[in-house]
Structure 1
Amino acid sequence: MILFPVLLALAAAPQAAAAMPAQAAPTKPAQAEHVAIQAADIDRSATFYHEAFGLRVIPTPLKNRRWLDLGNGLALHILDGRTAPKPSNRNEHLALHVDDLATVTAWLDQRHLVWTDLAGTQRMMQLRFDGVRQIYVQDPDGYWLEIGDSRGVPSK
């Protein structure tokens, strides 16, 4: 009968696992190093992030990449080669914190770029549950960004 050998194998599994050496847990948790996105025009994308949010350009020896400093040891890597639009989903986003959201929205308005609250209402800041003002905007390739500051009551 096939059932009996299967039962014997299952009964022996805990003993086999106990005989294996235990794997040591990491002594230090992993830390984020970079976020990578793919762009149709890496220079246009790098310029957007630099001008809109003040991200510092990091020199890279690679010609088909642009790197920007997100702070705290984290970088944004912009890779070339995007040929199709990025699917639109506000819930999948990179969150950035800026000193003054009004400065960012003025920059976006000057360039006629759409910014919204989470619900999609154009030109509407919202107040997050923790008191941070925030907006959502798409970069030149359609990636969603949540931009927040801590300046208080949202304005219209």
Structure 2
Amino acid sequence: MNCFTFNHIALSVKDVDVSVLFYKNVFNLEEIKNTASTSKTRWLKFNDDRQLHLIPRPDSEIKTNKAVHFALATLNFNAFVEHLESLGIDYSDWRNTPKKDYIRNDGIKQIYFQDPDDYWIEVNNDY
């Protein structure tokens, strides 16, 4: 059987410049060269070399719900929550309680918030 590793996630976004700025500010991601094409798709890199590809789709309707999300883990959960607050980004627990984290049955803390295109992002301390 083949072995797989996670490579990247791609998101359709209304304004690629706004989204790049958001992900750089919130997660301190580094922008890297789009080596696949000469399109306006922009690539960002996490510190483990996994990538986020932001594909401009200014005329597309983007529909999301909280069950469709991606999750990132950090050792510095509380510091990250403070960082979100300093940026004025609203977050909630799974049940939509504002400015509250949630502790899962397995003891992992998590919060949810949305990017400029309303994609849901979970950040937890399951590092």
User: What's the TM-score once normalised by structure 1's chain length?
Assistant: 0.69
Structure having the larger proportion of residues in helix: 1
SS of alignment partner, residue 122 of structure 1: coil
TM-superposed CA distance for 1:71, in Å, is 4.8
Q: CA RMSD in A?
A: 2.2
Contact 1:85 1:142 in 2 (8 A): no
Indicate the residue corresponding to 1:65 in structure 2.
41
Indicate the residue corresponding to 1:123 in structure 2.
99
User: What's the TM-score once normalised by structure 2's chain length?
Assistant: 0.83
Indicate the residue corresponding to 1:52 in structure 2.
26
Partner AA of 1:130 in structure 2: D
Contact 1:85 1:141 in 2 (8 A): no
TM-superposed CA distance for 1:114, in Å, is 1.3
User: How far apart are the structure 1 equivalents of 2:57 and 2:126?
Assistant: 36
Alignment of 1:4-19 (within 5 A): none
SS of alignment partner, residue 103 of structure 1: helix
Between Structure 1 and Structure 2, whose CA radius of gyration is higher?
1
TM-superposed CA distance for 1:52, in Å, is 0.9
Please identify runs of 4+ aligned residues in structure 1 that moved more than 6 A: none
Identity %: 28
TM-superposed CA distance for 1:113, in Å, is 2.0
The runs of 5 or more residues in structure 2 that have no matched partner are: none
Query: Which of the pair has the greater relative contact order for Cα pairs under 8 Å at 6+ separation?
Result: 2
TM-superposed CA distance for 1:138, in Å, is 0.4
